[in-house]
Amino acid sequence: MASYTVPSLAHLVDEFERLPGIGHKSAQRLAYHVLGLTETEAQSLADAILDARKKIHYCKICCNLTDQELCSICRSETRDKSVICVVEDPRDVAALERTQEFNASYHVLHGVISPLNGVGPDQLCIKELLARVSAGGVEEVIMATNPTVEGEATAMYLSRLLKPLGVRVTRLAYGIPVGGDLEYADEITLSKALEGRSEI
């Protein structure tokens, strides 16, 4: 490193550079921004990081993120607990909640089965899901993993484990995205859209 380097600044740049999507230039920009914060603002940023890391863990029922024993959805009494929507990631819960049309509960796998990346069923929250379904009261499990090869494989794997437990296992519909353009849709999406066509 050049002779002008200030160790604590270089260290901060290094730390920012480790974050996803932050390259060296962005890390520098963030670090210089931090130098311009007031002490209170810097403290508030640091506290938010530690706080989130310490307080947030998995909900005991659905494995979504929460800072209490159960997440707000599992605690809610107005939610339909007989339908479980299985997603890969807590962000997917956020996306589905934004539709404001889904009033059942979720189960977060925290990943997909991916032998290439060394992720097997044991690293995912699958046993928690099986326990929930085995405990009874569940009528339908909706697979809402991403429409990728790995997402599909995980959905297939789960449906084979779940069906013997006597629940209905469904999958999100494939088709043209609303506002999309037929001309730019890929062949597989189009053939899935044809296959899933419905009466109007």
Q: Which of residues 11 and 160 has its CB atom nearest to its own copies in the complex?
A: 11
**What CA–CA distance (Å, rounded) separates 55 from 64?**
13
| CA 126/CA 141 separation, integer angstroms | 13
- Helices then strands, counting H and E runs in the chain, come out as 8, 6
Nearer residue to its own copies within complex by CB, 62 or 162: 62
Question: What minimum distance in Å lies between the beta carbon of 157 and its own copies?
Answer: 24
In the bound state with its own copies, the residue whose beta carbon lies nearer, of 36 and 164, is: 36
**How far is Cα 61 from Cα 72, in angstroms, rounded to an integer?**
11
Closest distance to its own copies from the beta carbon of 138 (Å)? 20
User: In whole angstroms, how close is the CB of 84 to its own copies at the nearest point?
Assistant: 15
Binding site for its own copies (CB under 8 A): 2-9, 11-12, 14-15, 18-22, 26, 28-35, 37, 39, 42-56, 64-67, 71-73, 76, 90-91, 93-94, 97-98, 100
Query: Of 160, 157, 188, whose CA–CA distance to 174 is shortest?
Result: 188
Cα 185 from Cα 187, distance rounded (Å): 7
